[in-house]
Amino acid sequence: MNIFFTWRRALLGLAAAGVMGQCAAFSFGAEEAVIIAPPALDETTQAHDEIAVFAGGCFWGVQGVFQHVKGVKRAVSGYAGGEADTARYERVGEGDTGHAESVEVTFDPTRVSYGTLLQIYFSVAHNPTELNRQGPDTGPQYRSAIFPQSNEQQQVAQAYIAQLDAAGSFKKPIVTRLESYNGFFPAEEEHQDFLTEHPTYPYIVINDLPKVAQLKRLYPDRYQEQPVLVKAGP
């Protein structure tokens, strides 16, 4: 288990106990969002319900970003890429389960397209050029990965990565992997809605609240002030 996972897990216990303080003065800080073009290729569907699964580092921040996107109905923190029997926070933190901390996003494609979610994912939710890490967290469980739910999602994501790389949108090549989907396993209740429930938690203040602010700044027409919360019900 890497030191950053251990550090974050210890702070989680303090948060649950109501002890916040200055215990997370050690930090890396959030990176600036990158302004990128929308995908040239996007889905065409009249469906009102669709699912996308994204991995981009700690699921607290990724969930928090997508919960503030108009057209998103639900965003759940969890695990994808491994087997059901290892889909537990402490076990995934060991880095050898195949799982990545992920977020399952249920959205209405007539209000927000899959391509738009990809644009937000790449530009705001995480840094797609970091290999097997994200900010202070290191290991394959924090990798940048997309788990397409259909051939069309696969094609759109693949084309968008090629488009962004060809345009030199980032200073380094995108390392985001498109992985086969073999199920999503929701994380423990304590991890759901974490950003909203613990806005003064040092890890959130330093690494994740800036992402929500960047979403509001770069995509004001896509931003909704009131997040869609897991614990509020379906």
The residue length of the chain stands at: 234
CA angle 128, 55, 119 (to 5 degrees): 55
Q: What is the spatial distance between Cα 67 and Cα 128, in angstroms, rounded to a whole number?
A: 20
Residue 82 has which token pair?
Answer: 């491994």
Query: What residues are annotated to the active site?
Result: 58
DSSP-assigned states of every residue in the chain: --HHHHHHHHHHHHHHTT--TTTT-----PPPP---PPPSS------S-EEEEEEES-HHHHHHHHTTBTTEEEEEEEEESS-GGG-SHHHHTTS-SS-EEEEEEEE-TTTS-HHHHHHHIIIII--TT-SSEETTEESGGG-EEE--SSHHHHHHHHHHHHHHHHHT-SSS----EE-----EEEPPGGGTTHHHH-TT-HHIIIIIHHHHHHHHHH-TTTB-SSPPPGGG--
